[in-house]
Amino acid sequence: MPLLIEQALNGVQLGFMLFLLAAGLTLIFGIMGVINLAQGSLYMIGAYATAAVAAKTGSFLLAAPAGLAAAALAGMSMEYLVVRRLYARDHLDQVLATFGLILFFNQLTTILFGRQPLFVEIPPFLNGSVPIVEGLRYPVYRLAIIAVGLATAIALYVLIARTRLGMLIRAGATNRDMVRALGVDIRLLYTVLFGVGAMLAGLAGVMAGPILSVQVGMGEQVLILTFVVVVIGGVGSIRGAFVGALVVGVVDTLLRAVLPGLLRQLMSSGSEADALASGLSAMGVYMLMAIVLLIRPKGLLPAHG
Amino acid sequence: MADPSNKPARPLLSSVRRRLLVALLLVGLVVLPYLASLAGQPALVSLATRIVILAIAAASLNLALGYGGLISFGHAAWYGVGAYVVGVLYRHFVTGDLLFGLPLGTDQLLITLPAAILVSGLFAAGFGALSLRTSGVQFIMITLAFAQMIFFFFVALKAYGGDDGLIVRRRNALPFVDTRDSATFYWVSLFFAVAWFAFMGRVVRSRFGKVLAGVRQSERRMAAIGVPTYRYKLAAFVISGMGAGLAGALMANHARFVSPDMLHWTQSGEFMIMVILGGAGTLLGPALGAAVLIGLETQLAAWTEHWQVILGPLLVLMILFTRGGLSGLLGLLRGGGR
């Protein structure tokens, strides 16, 4: 039982990381109509910047803002130079142009940092573990990820539903030209919004550093999982992204934890059972997506209604 | 207005000159191995074989993407499945083990190719039926996600090499022909490529192709006049998957190696780029796109190990400033602008 709780918590933690990425992706899509494959690259940039600064200064407290700033800066220049020209284009052009950006960022990162994965140490004040239930101590760092994810979700809600900037963002999504006619610099607004989405991805990258290895290609792995989240939750809906991310995170983690033992009981050969289990658990969330699609083609919580 | 494929392709040449050009191109392709050996560049034959095979995959994606408007980001899955059919059948041929309880192993190209086309078509039918419940940006994400799932399936398939892939020690055999000779295998691939392009040409000009183009332009209108659009889209998707399977099977023979890398999502992206580069919704565009992209990659790779850092921005510039791929670029250079 403690094992199951631990894995469920790990799932929630993965879910919050996915939420940060999915929220950025779905925000940008829902409001600007752009599908940004390079969201995964921004995540990678956040992680690498954190790793680099942490290695130089030895301080996570300096490294984390650096990661956020790097991702936001990269995101805003990406918007200014490339994405801005894609708003009026179809999704195919957006996909291909941002695919080109991924190739560029991945290779540039390889040139700058090499192919060896980097590791970031868990900051000392978040090191250690706390007892959750009897017989289970859970790492503080992972709890911190959950807390930060939750705080970000609330902040995002407040930003969009309760502030003037959020009102402009919602208005811009409904009728871009009308907002502009009322004297709002919609281009600047979009750049800022893209920066917010980039920062969300960067935040996920910053937090991923100490628990995952920081390497080229980390962005795309998580990007495709993020797509699953967005499809399950409903494209363009932040609430959907929240629900979808938690579902995907928990299902993925639990399958990986439970399936090998289950199959080993059913099958005679242990190694074959392990191979099958790893395959099935890797495919699990995609099957979940297929099932959701069969029942609700627009996702669990589609935007606008 | 945002969809470049809605524009009718401006005929650059008259029909007679176009036919002449195609005939010339064909002759050039057929004699290419001789020219390569004359020029002392035998490696060109292998490069040309790759281009010819990838052109088949790009042309099949073009049916779904260019003519049908279905932006599939998972084309490499069907390509990889086709390749694995060759690899698995060859493995069983060598070991003599039963497959599904039957002695199915074979190394005969005339059996493995149809088998690859069939299996890829079945995969595409299953996943296409699900994916086509969505449209637009969801369809892009879903095809990518399902392709990733199939990728993980082959990674986990330890019985057939898993991550390491499968080696096909000897190319599949054809009666009367020595496929182990690289020039011969080039001609074999060229034959299948020409056959596939001819088939694509017929499909596009058929009633089916016209309906498909109608669905791309306005699905609601086609539905309103009583066309079961879902079935047409699914059929296009399945044919597209079959072509990719054929290409994958040929590539497995050419490279004599199959691995999950063939299903990697970047491969799907490259197929899309080939289609767009050459001009989506044109018959020979994908072949041109395949040739240019592979040629460019080879050239850049010879120049620097980090060629993607150049290719990426090139792609971005191409998408931003030329509409309709290379023909758009030609138009731009002629001063025509957009």
Mutant choice from A77, A78, A103, A272 vs B, greatest count of B C-beta within 10 A: A103
For the stretch A121-167, pLDDT in tens is 888 888 888 887 777 888 899 999 999 999 999 999 898 889 988 88
Q: Which residue of B has its CA nearest to A271?
A: B158
- DSSP per residue, B244-256: HHHHHHHHHHHHT
- CB contact (8 A) between residue A92 and residue B153: no
For the stretch B81-90, pLDDT in tens is 999 999 999 9
Residue B35 pLDDT level (bands cut at 50, 70, 90): confident
Neighbouring CB atoms inside 10 A of A259's CB total 19
Q: Does B129 touch chain A (CB under 8 A)?
A: no
- Determine the average pLDDT of the residues in A70-75: 95
DSSP structure class, residue A184: -
Residue A15 pLDDT level (bands cut at 50, 70, 90): very high
B84 alpha-carbon distance from chain centroid: 16
- Determine the average pLDDT of the residues in A246-275: 83
Mutant choice from B152, B296, B316, B338 vs A, greatest count of A C-beta within 10 A: B316
pLDDT value for B187:
93
d(C-alpha A193, C-alpha A189), whole Å: 6
pLDDT value for B239:
97
Contacts of B297 in chain A (CB under 8 A): none
Contacts of A90 in chain B (CB under 8 A): 2-4
pLDDT value for B320:
86
Contacts of A235 in chain B (CB under 8 A): 137-138, 141
Among A177-186, B95-104, B119-128, B217-226, name the most confident range. B119-128
- Token pair for B175: 């009666």
- CB contact (8 A) between residue B152 and residue A282: yes
- Mean pLDDT (chain A, rounded): 88
- Determine the average pLDDT of the residues in B27-47: 87
Q: Does A296 touch chain B (CB under 8 A)?
A: no
pLDDT value for B3:
46
pLDDT value for B332:
59
Percent of chain A surpassing pLDDT 90: 40
d(C-alpha B12, C-alpha B331), whole Å: 10
Residue B206 pLDDT level (bands cut at 50, 70, 90): very high
pLDDT value for B325:
65
Q: Is the pLDDT of residue B12 over 60?
A: no
List, in order, residues 6 or more apart from A60 with CB less than 8 Å away. Answer: A50, A54, A120, A121, A122, A123, A210
Q: Is the pLDDT of residue A305 over 60?
A: no
d(C-alpha A89, C-alpha B3), whole Å: 7
Cα→Cα distances A280→A3, A120, A270, B146, B186, Å: 20, 30, 15, 14, 39
Secondary structure of residue A138 in the 3-state scheme: strand
Q: Is the pLDDT of residue B10 over 60?
A: no
Percent of chain B surpassing pLDDT 70: 91
Q: Is the pLDDT of residue A241 over 80?
A: yes
pLDDT value for B1:
37
Q: Is the pLDDT of residue B98 over 90?
A: no
Sign of CA dihedral A165, A167, A170, A172: negative
- Mean pLDDT (chain B, rounded): 87
Q: Is the pLDDT of residue B229 over 50?
A: yes
For the stretch A89-127, pLDDT in tens is 888 889 999 999 999 999 999 999 988 898 888 888 888
d(C-alpha A138, C-alpha B265), whole Å: 36
Residue B337 pLDDT level (bands cut at 50, 70, 90): very low
Q: Is the pLDDT of residue A27 over 80?
A: yes
Contacts of A96 in chain B (CB under 8 A): 269, 272-273, 276, 315, 319
d(C-alpha B237, C-alpha A45), whole Å: 36
Mutant choice from B7, B61, B132, B137 vs A, greatest count of A C-beta within 10 A: B137
Whether A140 and A128 have beta carbons less than 8 Å apart is answered as yes
Per the model's pLDDT, the better-predicted residue between A296 and B240 turns out to be B240
d(C-alpha B138, C-alpha B123), whole Å: 20
Look up tokens 């999950």; give the residue. B260
pLDDT value for B112:
93
pLDDT value for B207:
94
Secondary structure of residue A118 in the 3-state scheme: strand
Whether A202 and A51 have beta carbons less than 8 Å apart is answered as no
Number of residues in chain A? 305
- CB contact (8 A) between residue B133 and residue A228: no
d(C-alpha B122, C-alpha B126), whole Å: 6
Q: Is the pLDDT of residue B245 over 90?
A: yes
- CB contact (8 A) between residue A89 and residue B2: yes
- Token pair for A133: 């239930």
Mutant choice from B6, B141, B146, B318 vs A, greatest count of A C-beta within 10 A: B141
pLDDT value for B150:
93
Whether A289 and B142 have beta carbons less than 8 Å apart is answered as yes
For the stretch A215-238, pLDDT in tens is 998 988 888 889 899 889 988 788
CA dihedral angle for residue A88, residue B316, residue B284, residue B244, rounded to 10 degrees: -100
Cα→Cα distances B269→B64, B112, B240, Å: 15, 26, 15
Q: Does A270 touch chain B (CB under 8 A)?
A: no
Q: Which residue of B has its CA nearest to A102?
A: B312
For the stretch B102-138, pLDDT in tens is 778 888 899 999 999 999 999 999 999 999 988 888 8
pLDDT value for A131:
84
Q: Which of A257-266, B96-105, B329-338 has the lowest mean pLDDT?
A: B329-338
Contacts of B136 in chain A (CB under 8 A): 91
List, in order, residues 6 or more apart from B95 with CB less than 8 Å away. Answer: B105
- Determine the average pLDDT of the residues in A264-290: 80
Nearest alpha carbon to residue B124 among B236, B286, B258 = B236
Sequence letter at residue B312: G
List, in order, residues 6 or more apart from B65 with CB less than 8 Å away. Answer: A92, B71, B72, B272, B275, B280
- CB contact (8 A) between residue A287 and residue B312: no
Q: Is the pLDDT of residue B5 over 70?
A: no
Chain B segment 48-77 residues within 8 A of A by beta carbon are 65, 71, 73
For the stretch A32-55, pLDDT in tens is 888 899 999 999 999 999 999 999
d(C-alpha B74, C-alpha B147), whole Å: 5
For the stretch B248-274, pLDDT in tens is 999 999 999 999 999 999 999 999 999
